[in-house]
Amino acid sequence: MHSLNRRAWVEIDLDALLRNAYRIAEHLGVPLLPMVKADAYGLGAVRVARMLERMDPWGFGVATIAEGEELRRSTIARRILIFTPLLIGDFDAAIRSNLTPTLGSAEAIARWRETGRPWHLSVDTGMSRSGIAWHLVPTLRDLILAAPPEGVFTHFHSAELANPSRMIQERRFDEAVAALPMRPAFVHAENSPAVEHRGPSRWSFARPGVFLYGVTSGNTPLITPDPVVTVRARIVDLRTIGDGETVSYDGTWKASGERTIATLSIGYADGYRRAFSNRGQVLVSGKRVPVAGYVTMDMTMVDVTGVACKIGDAATLLGADGAERIDIIELARIGELSPYELLTGLRGRLARRYLENRS
């Protein structure tokens, strides 16, 4: 048995990832800046970036200097933008790795100006998280004349919702760009939900994130992604329990009649959340079976009564087994979680298996 298969693992379909990227580019008609922050949403930033290099992206987006440094060590040479505000004390590290900051304060812009390096202006149009408020952009006029930004951008907070928020943010962003003493070479705004609900783009490039990794925001999107992520774990124990016997901590699950319980070698320390206790479903031999009792740190129990299986078989916690599929939207709803949270919560203890060139 291959060592990656002994316990639990994540399968990442790199071919599907690349198809999703091309689908966005074709839909929008502009280059992409794929977001590979948080280790490419938990899937491995280096492998993901190398695959996406095949489509000649404009650059890559990260959240921290360490994430950018990792890509540089892996010979990723194109532009890397850091989308979390940098502390001024971190500027030297950004310079050493040729990383491009996104700046939104007068103090940061004035200090970065001394480097003579490119930067992008971050404009807050309603997210209230980072960047200069759209109506305050004129206060930066002198600084921007002295050190013009290479790019300017904003971030949509609710592009997937059927409300006027995106229209309001676009109007504010247009006002901010018009207030600049010159139009930067690159103007960008579209995240994954924005990509799904409009096209072609009217900006320089798009910044897809979770769509690349197989997650849709729903609400009648114009395009949808192919699934990318599968999570599997081995059955490591099988036992028959009698009527009234309990499973897992606190005895929250009680057998109704004689039941067969399979123990899977995955738990919340791997990213399979405790929120799925007594609520989640798993695929065993192509059939849906319920989670029985609390998910524990290292193991999860499921009721496999009437399902043919044996120790060593792989159960599917996310993804497809035969005709059945548990997708990430379904799993997130069961756990009352965000799909983003699920993906980025897949822990390093889970081996990564990369699948490519299978067509």
Report strand pairing: 259-264 vs 229-241.
antiparallel
Alpha helix ranges (H) inside 229-322: none
Contact 181, 34 (CB under 8 A): no
Extract the tokens encoding 45. 């930033």
Q: 204 phi and psi, to 5 degrees?
A: -75, -40
Percent helix, percent strand, percent coil in the chain, to nearest 5: 35, 25, 45
C-alpha–C-alpha distance, residues 74 and 67, integer Å: 11
Q: What angle do CA 252, 258, 262 make, to 5 degrees?
A: 65
Extract the tokens encoding 36. 């590979």
Q: Which residue has the tokens 């699950």?
A: 253
Q: Which residue has the tokens 């159960």?
A: 315
**DSSP SS3 for 212:** helix
Contact 44, 352 (CB under 8 A): yes
Catalytic residue positions, numbered: 37, 249
C-alpha–C-alpha distance, residues 188 and 171, integer Å: 14
C-alpha–C-alpha distance, residues 356 and 359, integer Å: 8
Distances in Å between the Cα of 302 and the Cα atoms of 115, 255, 280, 319 are: 58, 12, 9, 17
